[in-house]
Amino acid sequence: RKPTVPAYQTRFSFVYSLHTTYHQTRFAFAKSVSRQTSIAGRVVFWLCFRFCAFDVCCFRVQSHYLVRLLAVVWLTRSNGCQSRSCRSLARMIEYTERYFRGLDLWSLGVDEAFINATVRGSQNYYLYSLSDECERCPYTRVQEIKGGANPPVVNNVFKLGITRKLSFKVLDRNVGKYAFDNESFVCQFSDQNLGEFGVYDIGIEEGNRVACTLETAKEPVNIYLPFITIALVAAALYVLFRLLQHGVRLVQRSRTLSEPQLSPNSPTISVQATGVPQKTRLRSLDTFRGIAIMLMIFVNSGGGDYWWIEHATWNGLHVADLVFPWFLFIMGVCIPISLRSQLGRNVPRYEIMKNVAVRSLKLFLIGLCLNSINGPTVADLRLFGVLQRFGVAYFVVSAIHLYCYQENDQLQHPLARSHADILGLWKHWVVVGIIVLVYLLVIFLVPAPNCPSGYFGPGGKHLMLLYPNCTGGITGYIDRQILGIRHLYQHPTARYMYDAMPFDPEGPFGCIPTTFQVFLGLQCGVLILTHTDVTSRVRRMLSWGIVLGLLGGILCGFSKNDGWIPVNKNLWSLSYVMVTASLAYFQLLICYILIDVKRYWTGNPFLYAGMNAIILYIGHTVFHKMLPWHWRIGHMNTHFMLTLEALWNSVLWNVIAYYLY
């Protein structure tokens, strides 16, 4: 019998583990926090950091910093943050004084600023602006700037959205809603980086020649400092959780050692291995799916209202544009794994196809129901959507694989055997290649009415209003003919930037390239089934990622707007398929190495979400505006508060996934 562990030794081990864990996180905390405290706070903190004997003091300093941060959050809501140290720390949460020159800065929204236009003269002027996101667009009228002889100086104050770089033109006459390049202007300001909660003065002074100035009256806030604050809070909570978890394990271990052990004469049960290899589920697949669903929930919750997290306006690739294609990709990976399992159990193909059709129909109907969440108006109901496209792509790719795939056991040449995952799908490639070829022929050869063939633009004021009713080119035209304009998505990303018409990014014609996206995932799934050794899988995933990335780059000309086929999520362009599939290969490869090969990571907490992805998607859509998932405190006009809300929603759904797991 082993001796019991004394209680004092257990307590000592627990305290020592706290010390060790804290020592590992202390340096990272010091680098980030010490820059944000007062001078006295920095001295105390670094003294604590340099001497291990003062770990208790260091813990108190960290706690004090977090408490101060919470106090600052409270004070800023009541306009009580007056001291210098309070203001210094308040910058971490986008705090700004409420009033500046009589302007209520708290009335501004996210990414808004005040413009104070001053005219020294009697004439009226007109301010036009152009965002750098709007490709080859005319300037759009923002505000009339009124002058007056009495008093001689007239101030015009208005709010302006400043999400992206802006260029301004001041005209001495009203030329309508848009000002084209052939219009003469009084003055111009190009590529201005205006900031949130800033105040900017535009001065117009008449004389022999009108002179204009643009000056910063109040500096804007830094909208990226909240990332540091949120990261610090998350790190503190994570360290606390790990410390508590480690303490519980120590207590359980001490109890286990204290229990009587088996005597030498106690009977034992031996288990003999059968030699049959056990099938192991690739946790990286579920983790990849979990990353996608959690990212989708975060993005659909607003993503903190950062422009680079939200969907791209038209061409381009933002964080939100990765979520949907990654879901489709991982669905394609799982198709051959699922079908092989059913065929291995001798399930008839027609029975498998019936199950595929039923599942696809369920996805379509669930998506249709979710589209009616704001009220089932049949005349205006959006017919297609995310789950509808899932259902269509799943049905088509599953049918192709079910009736085209056959085991290729007769490959004798070593080169052929090493590429069995591709040669075994040669029929698939023929069918999918024909589908993609027909799609490209329609895109480049069939013009829509009053639109040129091969047009990939958003219509509206794109190209100086040359094709105002050509949103999406032939893709948008086909969708409008099939569904009718009232059954399309009425608020596309291009509507507010380009004044575009309704366009459905998940419309029926876009299902064709989506099928190719799922097939690329199926190719990855067959790769995993065909090659069982780690080296072969890693090399092939890496090769596929590089090749698809290069092909996508060639198609888009490695540029945003100037290639043959731009990267466009709304159109689900072929270059978009290639690039997102390439990134999916790389992402899956990283997860595979970290989780299934090296076992550095278990996949948690994303694994839980990946095992319940469809429930989380439906749930976060249904409860999108309900407590406790979403809430509003005060104005909710900072990236800090909006990011906290989005993270809270994501974490809460992950907790639900853990419960379901």
Is the pLDDT assigned to residue 293 strictly greater than 80?
A: yes
Percent of the chain with pLDDT over 70: 80
Is the pLDDT assigned to residue 39 strictly greater than 70?
A: no
Is the pLDDT assigned to residue 61 strictly greater than 80?
A: no
Task: Give the model's pLDDT for residue 656.
Answer: 94
Give the tokens for residue 515: 């099928």
Enumerate the β-bridge partners of residue 187: 170
Sequential DSSP letters for 140-194: EEEEEE---SSSSEEEEEEEEE-SS-EEEEEESS---SEE-TTS--SEEEEEE--
Question: How far is residue 336's CA from residue 431's CA, in Å, rounded to a whole number?
Answer: 17
Three-class secondary structure of residue 78 per DSSP: coil
- The CA distances from residue 149 to 145, 501, 639, in Å, are 14, 43, 42
The mean pLDDT of 587-616, rounded to a whole number, is 93
Task: Give the model's pLDDT for residue 45.
Answer: 44
Spot the catalytic one: 19, 246, 311, 401: 311
- Give residue-wise pLDDT tens across range 505-562: 999 999 999 999 999 999 999 999 988 899 999 999 999 999 999 999 999 999 999 9
- Give residue-wise pLDDT tens across range 107-165: 999 999 999 998 888 888 999 999 999 999 999 999 999 887 666 666 789 999 999 99
Task: Give the model's pLDDT for residue 279.
Answer: 57
Kindly report the average pLDDT of the chain as a whole number. 83
Task: Give the model's pLDDT for residue 71.
Answer: 53
Task: Give the model's pLDDT for residue 590.
Answer: 96
- Give residue-wise pLDDT tens across range 613-628: 999 999 999 998 888 8
The mean pLDDT of 64-83, rounded to a whole number, is 53
Is the pLDDT assigned to residue 21 strictly greater than 50?
A: no
- What's the pTM? 0.83
- Give residue-wise pLDDT tens across range 212-239: 999 999 999 999 988 888 888 888 888 8
Question: How far is residue 570's CA from residue 488's CA, in Å, rounded to a whole number?
Answer: 13
Task: For residue 151, count CB atoms less than 10 angstroms from its CB and return exposed for 0-12, middle for 13-18, buried for 19 or more.
Answer: exposed
Distance of CA 288 to the CA centre of its chain: 14
Question: How far is residue 374's CA from residue 371's CA, in Å, rounded to a whole number?
Answer: 8
Nearest alpha-carbon partner for 196 in 650, 638, 645: 638
Cβ within 8 Å of residue 284, ≥6 positions away: 588, 591, 592, 594, 595, 596, 603
Task: Give the model's pLDDT for residue 416.
Answer: 63
Question: How far is residue 138's CA from residue 298's CA, in Å, rounded to a whole number?
Answer: 34
Task: Give the model's pLDDT for residue 11.
Answer: 41
For the chain, domains (ranges, CATH) are 7-90+225-253 (no CATH), 99-218 (2.60.40), 283-660 (no CATH)
Q: Looking at 161-170, 266-275, 388-397, 421-430, which range is the least confident one? A: 266-275
Task: Give the model's pLDDT for residue 147.
Answer: 83
- Stronger pLDDT, 587 or 72, i.e. the higher one: 587
What is the side-by-side strand order in the sheet with 187-192?
Answer: 178-179, 139-145, 125-131, 166-171, 187-192
Q: Tell me, yes or no, if 19 is annotated catalytic.
A: no
Distance in Å from the first CA to the final CA of the chain: 39
Question: How far is residue 372's CA from residue 293's CA, in Å, rounded to a whole number?
Answer: 22
Percent of the chain with pLDDT over 90: 59
Residue 170: half-sphere exposure toward Cβ, Cα within 13 Å: 22
Nearest alpha-carbon partner for 395 in 575, 519, 288, 523: 519
Residue pair 341/328 in contact by the 8 Å Cβ criterion: no
Is the pLDDT assigned to residue 64 strictly greater than 60?
A: no
Task: Give the model's pLDDT for residue 439.
Answer: 96
Is the pLDDT assigned to residue 184 strictly greater than 70?
A: yes
Give the tokens for residue 301: 């919750």
The mean pLDDT of 464-472, rounded to a whole number, is 93
Is the pLDDT assigned to residue 609 strictly greater than 50?
A: yes
Stretch (H or E) spanning 114: strand 112-120
Task: Give the model's pLDDT for residue 6.
Answer: 47
The mean pLDDT of 287-303, rounded to a whole number, is 94
Task: Give the model's pLDDT for residue 188.
Answer: 92
- Give residue-wise pLDDT tens across range 539-553: 999 999 999 999 999
Is the pLDDT assigned to residue 55 strictly greater than 50?
A: no
